[in-house]
Structure 1
């Protein structure tokens, strides 16, 4: 491992931004001190940094490292893998794998002399005929291999030969290796391995096959899990076939059976696990006899009686429907379903492939064609699982597909009889995993309850017309002066409640409710986020609101509300204003006024006026709460405004409740009718629409 690293290298290897490392140094006294360098560019001991980073958990995704120390070490090894030579990605992949394979065959450090190394290649090809002709880069002598020899020796001693081969390929990918485009995404490899392990159990000496092997990422992952007796593969690209053979040799697999073409399924007959991930373009060959689902049919032909097959296909093959004539892809899809060859359809998340992000993929889990049409087909939406589940989506998807029905969530994974899938225009899980149908009586009861709730909401509501008719306005003749919030704070007429910075990890579902940016913008319902009183005790400066406090957020958008109940914790950038005298306290507040000079609803209305809103927004560089102002009015005007604002606020909340009740009735009716549980008819109206704008009503006979 490299002994000394700079701050920039620490950031690069730990996969964080450069300021994060500076924050670690400033905020943590136990961060390793510099061991050399200069004041402007200090050097740090790499092992000390790695040990310190071991204490910091990183974001876990699939099988990735769990701490920043693991990420740092992996980055350091990968960064060192090509330090000695300026080689392109293809040369690094081929030359590096050749040296690792030679190191495995030689079982000792490789010689640095070019002639001795060439003789070693000849001896290795004699001892291992499968490797004949694979050491052309080493024997050609076009590159200085000594820097790579040192890197290979270090990697083999640290992570073993399989790990060294993978580190070499990781370096090649970063340098533009052409083979990276043909690799199967690592999450798909892990998903296939997990499902195959669950469904097959522990078979004795299984045979695995890959009809489009590419560089062999799936074969190395799968073979490491199940230990096959033989590996059958087909790859028409000689460069990819060479990488595959060297890679599997470094992983310790010797029983390789190459085939010239993956379309000749008789060469792969009897496979216990068969896989295909063919290259394709969106919409490719949709009207030709050769299409992506043709590969799925070939996988079925390769399987033994109890074998499991996997095929990565584009999503359009599951949704494409024939219009004028039957398309070959729809006919193949129908035959696979009708004959019971499909065991599961898994809709994969988007952007799985780091170098090919524009494809929407699905994974078919296949059975041998035994004509059993009574099977159940598992439909699984892994894209939704990754969004909704806290667990790694690969493990969660594997559990849902392979475990009993009771372990599945109906909206994410469910089984369907083959008879229900025959003739469908779409077999995409997202289109089929709609909520399960309920009993017709439940639909009827839910619709009636929604209607009665809406009737009750309107029956108990207050008529807004008298309130609106009470509002009388006239033109003001006298001038109006204004006072800023800063002046009112300095004069003691308002008390400022600052917001506090509380990490999101300390928030939960119980305790004091919090008011932050999300609540005031309506992104999160008020009361959903809370903080436990034990966690709140760590923040002694956190402000707690009282009933009648005005809560303000000035910045990207001016938002003002009145906290009617109090007891809320303010999160920055939200602030609060308290009106002295509005809430009566004990005698300890002897200087408290007997009566508030303005009501909270009047203050909130004036602060949220368009005059103050124009001073905020994304185009304003800085907004200070003290810069907001309110007009100087008489006590009677403040009281009238407070009462008016309160009444209008209550009417607006009532209107929102009524709109929500009506929307619930509409949704319940549509849901019940779509499920086929109800029939609907509309009774004759007892009133005619009032189009004159007055309060008159004209009745008609029932």
Structure 2
């Protein structure tokens, strides 16, 4: 697209590095926003030069970050997918080599990059060989600078943002990183090596294969029907698992299997949901249907059999499934065969909010292709994490629940591994996990919904013991509520005047250049500490994004990469990704000091003679500040260098810092009171329904 061109609202959001909702707000709230110059009423278009001028006047035109410069270039260039091989080539260059290449004259640069990407054209599926031309020099340099400063993976994601509309496909959702890691961890068997070969027939952006590769898989295979997603997956997997062999192909896995005859030790898959156009008619006699042809309305059961067809005897499959697959009448016959043959090992119900679509709780199905001439498994494990997670749910500004991933992963992995070791002697966990005999499942419905099998009535506690427990919980709740009341009342918060204060501000990028702050991030490639250092790793933990969002101590396992970042008291830590449009900044205390900084976290270390860390954290986490520095669509990232801070004397900063610290203490107290209220209500409700407690006397 030439410079003097029209841009849509989506392209403006990429140009400014903000969300589309922010652009919509600008259009509604600012009369001086450029009027449409073309397009349609439903999709207006705007003059690019006018938009640039308006953004520059407001200080919204990115200039500091190479990643922003790349996004700006992409609004004037077509088909950025052809740049993916260059991202891979640049990601494998050293910092010195990148710097030298960027400095080359245009003609030599084109020749040098052409040679650099030649080995990767066949590696990245769906990308034709490209000859770089001199007119692309600015764009290519912007890409190289982005790789040099922010890394190859974020640069590839910037290209993905540009093509997100073209790559959208009904029923496809991006699997969150914590869930991808949990799914990959379900293949871990204590004392045995990780599966060497892993396949994902609906790989999307490659998240499941990346998780498998970082855990030890050495051969990774993927396929996706969307060419752009397959290309991104090939690049991302190669960058994040450099020691693994990677093969990714484009195509419809059901109609045109890109790996006929491939047998892998394990398959991980999050298939598209509810896609009835999966090839039911033309695939009626396909040899993959080991448990009969699935009905047209059961595409997920077709995917399950496709995955099993790529595993040998004993090969394992982990799938992310919609809950309806466990109970729909049309799939009863295939479910019965999965149970009867011992192929279905476990069904695990996740809490709502663990993965999109966020309003439902998805299921994990663990399958294993049975060995011939062996007795089929006699039990199926059912785990319901929804009830356990509900008491630890974090409520965001949109009141959507989010999973407590460390607790959820610990529960799922611990339960599964215990069952996998002793399937016939598994001790049920009341209300959470139960191994159900196969014969009890083969009824008219073959309903595999975990909640139907694990929510049995637990053993009733003695009434006197339960009454004493309830009294203790209520006493703790009263003390917590009294503390919260004291923190939230009392002092008067006066108005600033007839109008809000207007400060002189500077961006974090300006402050970094002036050495008022230093910015560090955890290395991209990390691995867990070896067993030999277990004593140390039991004490040193990794601060994760969820730890920051939930205001809890560091909970992640110690990770070693040779360049790990150790947290110091007074550091300010901010998540890179916005969660439902909100975030928090954490000031490291003595309890955090010595632990390691996790991935997807920024760490700002202020000069104590120039900035109070609590002042810094309070203004960094302001909603307007975060939204103005955010970019992306499905994954919204914060460019910390674009965040703005008021320039105030240190003495005045201390006043604001005390206020922000008081608000933090109030939030912590509210979290405690909320947890205790949930616990008290649960204990009292259980006592009433179990007959151990009587209702209170209504006369008192």
Q: TM-score, normalised by structure 1?
A: 0.46
Q: TM-score, normalised by structure 2?
A: 0.47
- RCO comparison, higher one (Cα < 8 Å, 6+): 2
Structure number with larger C-alpha Rg = 1
